């Protein structure tokens, strides 16, 4: 959560951020409740002090034989205890309300974040690569996947229900290949790879800013107080929770993990194929750096560049957009999305997201470092999707399909695909 003193001094800015991000929190009410909390705290502390003073006096009076006066003070102490019990109950109630509202307070947004209501208001920054031109009837990734025996959605649904799938044969190999390519790219950039827990405590999701606003997107393990993460950003950031770390050089972490999302609210959207599924894999990059705006901005450009480099190695056309206020999450200060061209959608589709959170996550997770004056301060954190699969298979298959039904494999992937330059149709599909 943001520092309350800062929130008081910037109440209008914080309320504007909440309104822009469609988070229902009234900052004026929060500040009012916090004032009530402070007053009740002061009153309870004063009542405790007076009770302790009277209790000490009672002891002295009893020792000196002044029992009548001592009994009168005991009556005062009893009355004070009853009053204190009521005030403590009020304080606990108000404190609970203040805490609930504090957890809803959003991160502010950067001055260059576009104002908008939805992803339609995101602002394109650049396009890279040429869109494919097909002089034949092109196929979407589902048809290509079935023809090449790469994807089996009906059996996936039979096993796991809606938004499930099976990758088989070269489909699985491509799925693994893009992940390994992304991981190798990050290793060359100095990232430390981690294998991390995918079942996490509720507090971990709160501290990293995924709860309370994103609770409906996460699968809960009933009776365990544990949840399945939708991104390894959660455990990667939490790796350093409640610690003081050295960020003279930015700390760079990466993980390859399975991810789970409920996709509540997306019913009827992107129901065909692999675009919006419940289970997928991601290579995630997380950076913790000094709490310097220029430094974390530089890191944001760097991790976005890593994702762009991957897409260039995959020889895919894409564009980078600045995400607007209405399309941002509670925790984000500044965000870029990278959208890759998907012929079947006749549009760019989101494949990567890159975010700078400033100290929002670190403050909630209590991750600190020392500044130049040796003072403890909260770090800045950033994250980016190096690659997410099977969604990346959509543009990979569709953009690289050939007139004869084969699929071109980009040179960067071939070492992970036993040197294969193309996926050739099975014999029973050839000539159809």
CB 163 within 8 A of CB 263: yes
- Is residue 391 flagged as an active site residue? yes
| 256 is annotated as contributing to ligand binding | no
- Which of 340, 365, 352, 336 shows the shortest CA–CA distance to 241? 365
Which member of 33, 363, 368, 391 is catalytic? 391
Residue 329 assigned to a binding site: no
Q: How far, in Å, CA of 427 to CA of 432, rounded?
A: 10
- Catalytic residue of the set 8, 176, 201, 276: 276
Report the candidate in 328, 92, 95, 331 with the shortest Cα–Cα distance to residue 206.
Answer: 331
**Of 33, 37, 139, 261, which is the active-site residue?**
261
Q: For this structure, is 48 an active site residue?
A: no
Ligand-binding site membership of 364 (annotated): no
Our answer to whether residue 261 is catalytic in this structure is yes
**Residue 161 C-alpha from the chain's centroid:** 26
> Hey, what long-range contacts does 90-98 have (CB within 8 A, 24 or more apart)?
90/40, 91/37, 91/40, 91/41, 91/44, 94/33, 94/36, 94/37, 94/40, 95/37, 97/33, 98/30, 98/33, 98/34, 98/37
330 neighbors 2 (Cβ within 8 angstroms) = no
**392-to-3, 7, 275 alpha-carbon distances in Å:** 39, 40, 9
**Can you read off the two tokens belonging to residue 195?**
């294998």
Binding site annotation covers 13? no
Residue 87 assigned to a binding site: no
Is 354 one of the catalytic residues? no
231 is in an annotated binding site: yes
> What is the spatial distance between Cα 128 and Cα 346, in angstroms, rounded to a whole number?
16
For residue 83, is it left (φ>0), alpha (ψ between -120 and 50) or beta?
A: alpha
Annotated ligand binding at 353? The verdict is: yes
Q: Single out the catalytic residue among 308, 350, 368, 398.
A: 350
10 labelled as ligand-binding?
no
Phi-psi region of 413 (alpha: psi -120 to 50; beta: other; left: phi over 0): alpha
Contact 382, 355 (CB under 8 A): yes
Does the annotation mark 276 as catalytic? Answer: yes
Task: Confirm or deny that 229 is annotated as ligand binding.
Answer: no
Consult the annotation and say whether 398 binds a ligand. no
Catalytic residue from among 257, 353, 354, 355: 353
351 marked as part of a ligand binding site: yes
> Is there a binding annotation on residue 306?
no
Annotated binding residues for L-serine, written as ranges, equal 231, 261, 284, 383
Q: Which residues are annotated as a binding site?
A: 231, 261-263, 277-280, 284, 350-353, 383
Annotated binding site for ATP: 261-263, 277-280, 350-353
Catalytic residues: 261, 276, 350, 353, 391
């Amino acid at each position: 959560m943001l520092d309350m003193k800062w929130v008081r001094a910037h109440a209008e800015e914080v309320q504007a951020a909440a309104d822009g991000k469609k988070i229902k929190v009234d900052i004026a009410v929060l500040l009012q409740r916090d004032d009530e909390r402070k007053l009740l705290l002061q009153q309870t502390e004063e009542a405790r002090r007076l009770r302790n003073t009277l209790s000490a006096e009672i002891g002295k009076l009893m020792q000196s034989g002044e029992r009548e006066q001592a009994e009168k003070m005991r009556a005062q102490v009893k009355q004070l205890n009853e009053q204190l019990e009521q005030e403590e109950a009020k304080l606990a109630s108000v404190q609970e309300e203040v805490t609930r509202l504090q957890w809803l307070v959003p991160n502010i947004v950067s001055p260059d974040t576009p104002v908008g209501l939805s992803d339609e208001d995101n602002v394109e920054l650049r396009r890279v690569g040429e869109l494919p031109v097909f002089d034949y009837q092109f196929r979407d990734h589902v048809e290509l996947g079935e023809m090449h025996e790469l994807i089996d959605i009906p059996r996936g649904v039979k096993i796991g229900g809606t938004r499930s799938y099976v990758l088989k044969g070269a489909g699985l190999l491509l799925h693994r290949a893009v992940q390994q390519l992304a991981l190798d790219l990050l290793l060359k950039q100095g990232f430390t790879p981690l294998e991390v827990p995918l079942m996490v405590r509720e507090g971990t999701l709160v501290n990293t800013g995924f709860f309370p606003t994103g609770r409906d997107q996460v699968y809960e393990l009933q009776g365990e107080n544990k949840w399945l993460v939708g991104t390894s950003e959660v455990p990667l950031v939490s790796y350093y929770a409640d610690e003081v770390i050295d960020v003279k050089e930015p700390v760079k972490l990466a993980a390859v993990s399975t991810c789970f999302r409920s996709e509540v609210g997306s019913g009827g959207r992107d129901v065909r194929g692999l675009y919006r599924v419940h289970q997928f894999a991601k290579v995630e990059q997380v950076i913790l750096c000094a709490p310097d705006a220029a430094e974390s901005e530089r890191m944001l450009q760097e991790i976005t560049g890593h994702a762009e480099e991957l897409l260039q190695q995959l020889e895919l056309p894409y564009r980078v957009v600045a995400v607007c206020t209405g399309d941002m999450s509670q925790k984000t200060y500044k965000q870029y999305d990278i959208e890759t061209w998907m012929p079947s959608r006749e549009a760019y589709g989101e494949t990567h997201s890159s975010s700078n959170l400033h100290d929002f996550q670190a403050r909630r997770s209590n991750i600190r470092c020392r500044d130049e004056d040796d003072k403890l301060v909260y770090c800045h954190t950033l994250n980016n999707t190096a690659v997410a699969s099977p969604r990346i298979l959509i543009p990979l298959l569709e953009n690289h399909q050939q007139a004869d039904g084969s699929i071109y494999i980009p040179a960067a992937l071939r070492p992970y695909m036993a040197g294969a330059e193309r996926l050739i149709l099975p014999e029973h599909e050839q000539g159809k």
